[in-house]
Amino acid sequence: MTLRALIFDVDGTLSETEEAHRRAFNETFAEAGMDWHWSVEDYTWLLKTTGGKERMRAFRAHNGAAAPSDDEIAALHTAKTARYGALVASRALTLRPGVAELIAAARAAELKVAVATTTNRPNVDALCRASWGKEADEVFDVIAAGDEVKAKKPAPDVFNLAVKRLGIDPSEAVAFEDSRNGVLSAQAAGLRVIVTPSRYTAAEDFSLADWVVEDLSAANIAAVTLLSPLIRAA
């Protein structure tokens, strides 16, 4: 079927955001007087659990502790989200190679562009303001965020929501991901998937992905037959 839309994951796909997330978590823990501090190694395995509150609960279980409570975790996550937004606003992040150009080419070709992410909407807005100088709904036609669905990746819920809001058939879109959980989620929703492994996911198994490329720069995208017309048109 005709390609009508591109659907992007956010963290690790649009930008290498995970180190900023880790810093925001650790600064939030320190300000709350907690003895939690997530190393790069800690955060690598924690990322296999999707969602910030879910990661904190996973770490609590890993420690065999009862605290913090779920209510305290929700409050910590709210504080962490604000801290992350401030980090992004300070221009601590940049888009990964080829992202801006591919989205512009899709727009020029009159394709829809969407987000399907396990992160929450304020984080998407923060990245778009820092990277495009616009709110997320000025960059993307549809935004499906993790706080809008019952089950997060690898469940297909957030991609199903994005496809529904786009008003298309899954076969008319391609998803962009950086994690194995993301690949499983997108494929369960009936989407083809292009993977650009990120710093924290490079060692994961992407054998199920339809395509794996280093990044979304023109040379790599031109090798994907489905998307090469966009590059030629640009």
Residues marked as catalytic? 9, 11
Enumerate residues 6+ apart whose C-beta is below 8 A from 225.
Answer: none
DSSP secondary structure, 51-96, as one string: SHHHHHHHHHHHTT---S-HHHHHHHHHHHHHHHHHHHHTT---BP
| N-to-C CA span, the chain | 22
Cα dist. 182→93, 128, 167, 196, 209 in Å?
Answer: 21, 21, 21, 11, 10
Q: Give pairs for 22-29: CB < 8 Å, separation 24+.
A: 23/87, 24/80, 24/81, 24/83, 24/84, 24/87, 25/52, 25/56, 25/80, 27/83, 28/76, 28/79, 28/80, 28/83, 29/76
* DSSP SS3 for 213: coil
How far apart (Å, rounded) are the C-alpha atoms in residues 74 and 232?
47
